[in-house]
Amino acid sequence: MDYEKYRQAINLRMSCRKFTGSPIAEADLDKLRALVCAYNEESGLSMQLIIGDPAPFDAKQAMGLFQGSAGYLALIGKTNDPNRMEKEGYFGERFVLEATSMGLGTCWVASSFDKDKSKAAARDDETFDIAIVFGKGEQKLSIREKVIRTYLGTNHRTQEDIAPDAQFAPDWFKNGIEAVMKAPSTKNTKPFSFCFENGTATAKTVGNHERVKVDLGIAKLHFEVGAGGGRWELGDGATYSGKL
């Protein structure tokens, strides 16, 4: 993993809900397709890159939020995989950071679209949980986007809430938490906490909304990038290794 590239992408990224509608170069789409193949191989997920297909975002529950996107990544995995959602968070966010470093806008979408209208097809033993919409983002924030951001900004949990013992931890842990604070999460709730104990880190979910483990997977990736190495065990409450 190119930590420096990902660190820059973390600093640049913010959810993009308005796109220009212009197409993405075929070479860039090929790069995204190759990344998705590699992530599926590594994770056992069955994510699908869908180009075009605006129907799920034209549906009523999308409230016209994601007009002009180039496509989306459908996050699909085996229904009986207990770590499916965490992997979707971790590998989906890798896709987001790669797309960001290619100059594309992205947004995770759990509720503001209609899965049933999607061209993405989950098999009988799979579940389509969530999407990441992407495309060329509008440079200027729309008034609607500003309203959304102001509203979601009020959900913020502070660094003290998320990692109360960070001040007593080594720099790699502090850097990891700094990157975690920039992670996207459902309604900006940041439903996770990180501890430094016995010389290493552990991460667990807080609360139990439906996709809390997706948020955990995203946050674990951000931590790894911020810390500049190491690797998480899978699971809620799991341990980090490699940065001792």
Only one of the segments 41-49, 70-78, 180-188, 197-205 lies at the binding site for ligand FMN (rule: CB under 6 A); that segment is 180-188
Q: By CB under 6 A, tell whether 14 contacts ligand FMN.
A: yes
Give the pair of three-digit tokens for residue 83.
């770590």
The residue number with the shortest CB distance to ligand FMN is 184
Q: Give the CA-trace dihedral at 41, 44, 45, 46, to 10 degrees.
A: 60
Q: By CB under 6 A, tell whether 181 contacts ligand FMN.
A: no
Give the pair of three-digit tokens for residue 97.
């950071």
Only one of the segments 1-9, 14-22, 133-141, 169-177 lies at the binding site for ligand FMN (rule: CB under 6 A); that segment is 14-22
Neighbouring C-alpha atoms within 13 Å toward the C-beta of 67 = 9
Class of residue 98 by CB neighbours under 10 A (exposed 0-12, middle 13-18, buried 19+)? buried
Question: How many residues belong to the site for ligand FMN (CB under 6 A)?
Answer: 21
The answer to whether 226 touches 101, Cβ cutoff 8 Å, is no
Only one of the segments 44-52, 72-80, 106-114, 168-176 lies at the binding site for ligand FMN (rule: CB under 6 A); that segment is 106-114
Nearer to ligand FMN, 25 or 143 (CB): 143
Nearest to 99 by CA among 148, 132, 77: 132
Q: By CB under 6 A, tell whether 112 contacts ligand FMN.
A: yes
Q: By CB under 6 A, tell whether 141 contacts ligand FMN.
A: no
Q: Which residues within the stretch 185-214 sit at the binding site for ligand FMN (CB under 6 A)?
A: 185-188, 211, 214
Nearer to ligand FMN, 172 or 232 (CB): 232
Q: 172 vs 119, 180, 191, 238, CA distance in Å?
A: 42, 12, 22, 18
Residue with tokens 């938490």: 177
Residues that bind ligand FMN (CB under 6 A): 14-15, 17, 65, 107-112, 130, 152, 184-188, 211, 214-215, 218
